[in-house]
Amino acid sequence: MSGAMNREGRPTRPVEASEAGRAVTATVTGNRGLTVEEPLIFEQDNPGAIGVDLPEPPHVRSRLGAVRPRGRIGLPSLSEPQVVRHYTRLSTRNMGIDTTMYPLGSCTMKHNPRLNEKMARLPGFADLHPMQPMDTVQGALELIDQLAHWLKALTGMPAVAMTPAAGAHGELCGMMAIRSALEDRNDPRRRVLVPESAHGTNPATAAALGYTVDSIPADARGRVDLEAFKAKLGPDVAAIMLTNPNTCGLFESDIVAIAEAVHEVGAFFYCDGANFNAIVGRVRPGDLGIDAMHINLHKTFSTPHGGGGPGAGPVVLSEALAPFAPVPAVVHGPDGRLRLVEHAEGDFAKSFGRMKGFHGQMGMFVRALTYILSHGADGLRQASSDAVLNANYLLARLKDVMTPSFDGPCMHEALFDDRFLKDTGVSTLDFAKAMIDEGFHPMTMYFPLVVHGAMLFEPTESESKETLDAFADTMRALVERAKSGDAGYFQGAPYHTPRRRLDETGAARNPVLRWQPDMPAREAAE
Ligand SMILES: *Cc1c(COP(=O)(O)O)cnc(C)c1O
């Protein structure tokens, strides 16, 4: 690791003196106001300095047998205020939807209404244990059942599997249901068609299940090339995995023809529903001929995400796929009580089995149902309309200075590419880093792969016109700066973050996941 520079020759340390023309006074502590330089919590260890004073436990016979601890387990000792400060500071070091606009395309980083949080913290939901007797959790089962009802109603689909824990997990669930349905009719097929613009999880899911991935090119309008797609169809095609609206932020206008052609050859239509936020209350995927689609509750229905979870990815299923859905599932018993079917038996005899320990992500279910019920049908429709309006507003405000990848209006995301940066010496990545200094989380970069130097903006419906204008004004000023020949400024950015350009390649190739007592601190942090 190269000290103060990362692999691309960009500085990793906070700006010190007058770099790039900006005077920053060095402090005694290395702190910069609220940005405090502090060691890792393990390095702050002060043996014996514990924050709580517990009585000696009475003598009890250990039941841990051979696995009882033999020495210190290496947790650091600190006072309570040290711990509180450490974690509070850490929580402010990343951008988040609660601190700034976060237009990360395809991620739908929308505001999480605090009402959701209030509901999720109700002790009757928050304090449940998944192994409690069914009689004592009727309310929780009813909540899962109600959410399932609304997800089916909003998508126009007859069934839903609630257990998948994220979008990618939902893809796996839907594709396992498809594989089971094909095996059930003794028709194993080998090939899955995936458009070139797909999210990486689509081909990964198909490959993980043993399918050959066959990619479909996009046409000049950024949609599936219908003729190329039809030429790929055949009796060995198990499914198509298509995102709609697609990852270029465009509605697949031939989607009904695609569904019909897929069904004609006996294959299934898997839809990646991560972009459902653009069409909720306007289009029901079931009406388009879709057989399975995951819904990222953590995107469309606002349950928080961004820090690696938690998520929830229920999958709506067509009549043909419903029998293969995973267990456990909530069902209505003859006595009017709800229960969980835990095994592949009875009505669930054809279920492909279990893909999660318990019934799914309960906290996310509470938040998503709160969001759905508090918005109502009109509110959900308004939200998707506003999401599309906001993206088009950004597109309109930026298209004369940046380069839109496709003509015409977009859905919920505005896609630009790096042509406007040509010959400036500024890359998409450099440009994004300068946005961080301006207090905005960057857009999605270099995705979708079909567009060179892609910049995918998804403002979501949460942003006000004032915020969108502040953002657009900032982007316009940055474009002007890039075009004025000030490439050095962008190459040094960000200047104001706790760390600057980290060695991301090194971190991915050689991850340091465990702190060791003799590890140089800088190496662990950078
Ligand atoms: C987010 C996303 C996924 C994966 O969802 P996770 O919940 O992150 O697993 C899949 N496809 C698209 C288009 C996405 O945007």
Q: Looking at the structure, do residues 390 and 308 belong to the same domain, yes or no?
A: no
Going from the Cα of 447 to the center of ligand 1, the distance in angstroms, rounded, reads 12
Q: Looking at residue 222, which CATH number applies to its domain?
A: 3.40.640.10
Q: Mark whether 253 and 388 lie in a shared domain.
A: no
Helix (H, G, I), strand (E, B) or coil at 329: strand
330 shares its domain with 400: no
Mean pLDDT of successive 10-residue segments in the chain (526 residues)?
70 63 69 86 87 82 86 86 93 90 96 96 95 95 98 98 97 98 96 95 97 96 95 97 96 97 98 98 97 98 81 97 97 93 94 94 96 98 98 98 96 98 97 97 95 97 98 98 97 92 90 82 53
Closest CA to ligand 1's atom 15 = 106
CB 306 within 8 A of CB 96: yes
- The verdict on the CB of residue 172 being under 6 Å from ligand 1 is no
Number of folded domains that form the chain: 2
Whether residues 207 and 252 fall in one domain: yes
Instruction: Say whether both 264 and 397 belong to one domain.
Output: no
Task: Indicate whether 355 and 393 sit together in one domain.
Answer: no
Cβ(391)–Cβ(457) below 8 Å = yes
Ligand 1 atom having least distance to the Cα of 166? 7
> Is position 466 within any domain?
yes
At 523 the pLDDT is 56
Nearest CA residue ID for atom 2, ligand 1: 274
Is 175 touching ligand 1 by the criterion CB < 6 Å?
A: no
Q: What is the pLDDT of residue 1?
A: 38
194 close to ligand 1 (CB < 6 Angstrom): no
Which atom of ligand 1 approaches the CA of 247 most closely?
Answer: 13
* Rounded CA separation 10/510 (Å): 19
**pLDDT at residue 30, as a whole number:** 82
- Greatest C-alpha distance within the chain: 77
Distance CA 196, CA 198 (A): 6
The residue range of the domain holding 285 is 115-370
Contact 364, 310 (CB under 8 A): yes
Same-domain pairing of 172 and 244: yes
| β-bridge mates for residue 316, sequence order | 160, 293
Domain contains 82? no
Same structural domain, 340 and 384: no
Statement to judge: residues 284 and 406 lie in one domain? no
Of 350, 370, 390, the one marking the end of a domain is 370
101 inside domain: no
CA distance 508 to 309: 19
DSSP SS3 for 7? coil
Asked if the structure places residue 291 within a domain, the reply is: yes
- Our answer on whether the CB atom of 274 is closer than 6 Å to any ligand 1 atom is yes
Position 2 scores a pLDDT of 41
Other beta carbons less than 10 A from residue 407's beta carbon: 9
- 405 Cβ below 6 A of ligand 1: no
Asked if residue 416 and residue 285 are part of one domain, the reply reads no
* Residue 42 falls inside a structural domain: no
CATH code for position 425? 3.90.1150.10
Cis peptide before 448 (omega within 30 of 0): yes
Distance 191 CA to ligand 1 centre (A): 22
pLDDT at 521: 55
- Same structural domain for residues 275 and 355? yes
- Measured CA to CA in angstroms, residue 421 lies from 175, 401, 491 at distances of 40, 10, 13
Assess contact for 243 and 275: CB atoms under 8 A: yes
pLDDT tens readout for residues 118-159: 999 999 999 999 999 999 999 999 999 999 999 999 999 999
| 196 within domain boundaries | yes
Q: Whose CA is nearest to atom 4 of ligand 1?
A: 167
- Say if 17 falls within a structural domain: no
Quote the strand ranges of 25-132, DSSP E: none
Over residues 357-396, the pLDDT tens digits come to 899 999 999 999 999 999 999 999 999 999 999 999 999 9
Q: Are 242 and 285 in contact (CB under 8 A)?
A: no
| Statement to judge: residues 263 and 396 lie in one domain | no
The answer to whether residue 258 is domain-embedded is yes
Residue 214 CA to ligand 1 centre (angstroms): 20
Spacing, Cα 103 to ligand 1 middle (Å): 15
pLDDT score of 27: 82
- Which of 370, 389, 405 finishes a domain? 370
Looking at ligand 1, which residue's alpha carbon is closest to its atom 6?
Answer: 167
CA-nearest of 12, 32, 47 to 517 is: 47
